[in-house]
Amino acid sequence: MKEWYGVLAETNTYQMEYWCKPEHTLLFDIETTGLSAKTSMLYMIGYCFYQDGHWNYRMLFNDDGRSEFNILSIFFEVSSHYLTLVHYNGDGFDIPYLLEKSKQYKSFGMSLAYEDSFASLQSLDLYKIIKGFRAGLSLPNLKLQTLEQALHISRTDTTNGGELIHIYQNYLKKPLEKNERLLFQHNYDDILAMVPLLQLLGFQALKEEQWTLTQIIQQQDKITLSLQLTIPLPIPYTHNTPYLTFHGNQNEAVIHIPICEDTLYYFLPDWKNYYYLPLEHKVVHKSLAAYVDASCKRKAKKEEAYIKKEGKFLTIPSKTANKYPHIYKRKMNDSLCFVECSELNLTDVQFWLDYLHDIF
C-alpha cells in the first residue's frame, strides 16, 4: 500500500457550519475497477479533513492489488473520529460499495473493526441536494465534471473512469511512474474539488428556507418579492410554477407572483342544500327555494352550485386551500386554486413567508 498526504491551499469552509462542524466532517471519494463490489476491486480512497484552519488530504493507494483490506481498515478507523461524511453521490455508490466490500471480508472471517461506526455516520450527499433542483439549472447533466465546470473548479486530470481502470490494471503488471501519476492525479483532483463543491449546500439552505424577505412590491398584474439568501447559490437557478417564478443567484433572489384578473367560481361545499333555478341560471339555498314553484326548480348538481365572482385573485397551492374561507376556481375539477386579493393582507411579511413555505 502507498499513501500520499498534505495540506491544501484551500481554507474556505463555504459556510458548512450551518449543517456540520468542519472539524467533525470527512470529505471522501473512492476509485474502483468497476461498479459492482462483488466483481471489482477498490484501488484508491482519498479524503479531506479540516484541521488548524486548513483542509488536509490523505490518499490510500492499493498499489499491489493486495492492499484492499488495509486501505478499508485504515479508512474505517479514520472515519470513526468524525460525525459526518460528505461526498458526491456517495449514497448511491461509494458507501454501499465500501459496506459490501466489508461484508465480503467478514464472510472470509476478516471483520473490519469500525464497520458499524462507518455505517452509522451522518451522510451528506451533495448530489442528492442538487438533484432536487435539476429542472431549474442550465446544465446538460449533473455529472461531477459538469458541476466542477459550472463552479469554475479547474482540473489537471483529463482521464475518465474507464481509462483509469485500464491504467490501473497495466500498473499492476508494470508499475510505471507515469501511470501512478495519472491514478494519483485523478483522485487528488476529485478530493480537491470536494471542498469548493460544498458551495452546493446553498441549495440545501434554499430548501430549508434560509432567507430574509427584504421587499414587497405590488403591481397591477403581479407581486414581486425580493429575498436575501443566507447561503449564496453558486449557480443561477430559475424555477417556474403556476404560482410563481423564482430566480436566484448568489445571495439574492426575486420572486414574481402573478395576480389573476378574471371571473372565477366559488363552488359551494354544501351543494346538496341548494336548488338550481334553470330560468335564472343560479342556485338558491333550500330555505329560499321553499318559496319557489316546483316547476321552476330542481335539486342542484355539484358543478352547478357555485357563486360567480369577478375580481383579482392570487393562486395558492391546493394542499393549503383549507387555510382560506373562500377558494375560487375556473372550473370545478381545476387543480389551480385562487383566493380573492381583497381577502388577503398583501403587505404583510408573515403572510408571504407562510405563502412561500406552502409553495416550497
**CATH number, domain containing residue 101:** 3.30.420.10
Q: Do 30 and 105 reside in the same domain of the chain? A: yes
Is residue 87 within 8 A of residue 194, CB to CB? The reply is yes
Q: Do 189 and 326 reside in the same domain of the chain? A: no
Last residue in a domain, options 186, 203, 220: 203
Instruction: Look up residue 276 and give its DSSP letter.
Output: E
Q: CA-CA distance, 228 to 214, in Å (whole number)?
A: 7
Q: Do 231 and 187 reside in the same domain of the chain? A: no
Q: What's residue 77's pLDDT? A: 97
Q: Do 71 and 174 reside in the same domain of the chain? A: yes
Amino acid 152 reads: H
Instruction: Look up residue 41 and give its DSSP letter.
Output: -
Residue located via cell numbers 403591481: 219
Q: Do 16 and 119 reside in the same domain of the chain? A: yes
Last residue in a domain, options 203, 224, 252: 203
Q: CA-CA distance, 117 to 4, in Å (whole number)?
A: 24
Look at the chain and report how many structural domains it folds into: 3
Q: What's residue 33's pLDDT? A: 97
Helix/strand/coil (H/E/C) assignment for every residue in 165-207 = HHHHHHHHHCCCHHHHHHHHHHHHHHHHHHCHHHHHHHHHHHH
Between the two ends of the chain, the Cα-to-Cα distance in Å is 49
Q: Do 181 and 218 reside in the same domain of the chain? A: no
Report the greatest alpha carbon distance in the chain: 102
Beta bridge partners of 322: none
Q: Do 248 and 350 reside in the same domain of the chain? A: yes
Q: What's residue 87's pLDDT? A: 97
Among candidates 221, 205, 216, 203, which has minimal Cα distance to 254? 216
Amino acid 258 reads: P
C-alpha cell at 220: 397591477
Q: Do 291 and 321 reside in the same domain of the chain? A: no
Within the chain, residue ranges assigned H as helices are 68-79, 95-107, 115-119, 126-131, 144-150, 161-173, 177-194, 201-207, 286-289, 349-359
Q: What's residue 217's pLDDT? A: 96
Task: Identify how many contiguous H helices and E strands the chain contains and give both numbers.
Answer: 10, 14
Low-confidence ranges of the chain (pLDDT < 70): none
Q: Do 14 and 162 reside in the same domain of the chain? A: yes
Q: What is the CA radius of gyration of the chain?
A: 30
Q: Do 198 and 242 reside in the same domain of the chain? A: no
Domain of 348, in residue numbers: 209-268+305-359
Q: Do 35 and 25 reside in the same domain of the chain? A: yes
Q: CA-CA distance, 219 to 153, in Å (whole number)?
A: 41
| Digit-coded pLDDT (tens) for 255-282 | 999 999 999 999 999 999 999 999 998 9
Phi first, then psi: give them for residue 230, nearest 5 degrees: -65, -45
Residue 342 CB partners (closer than 8 Å, separation 6+): 311, 312
Q: Do 97 and 34 reside in the same domain of the chain? A: yes
Angle between helices 161-173 and 177-194 (to 10 degrees): 140
Q: CA-CA distance, 201 to 209, in Å (whole number)?
A: 12
| 3-state SS assignment for residue 250 | strand
Is residue 88 within 8 A of residue 197, CB to CB? The reply is yes
* 19 class by beta-carbon count within 10 Å (0-12 exposed, 13-18 middle, 19+ buried): middle
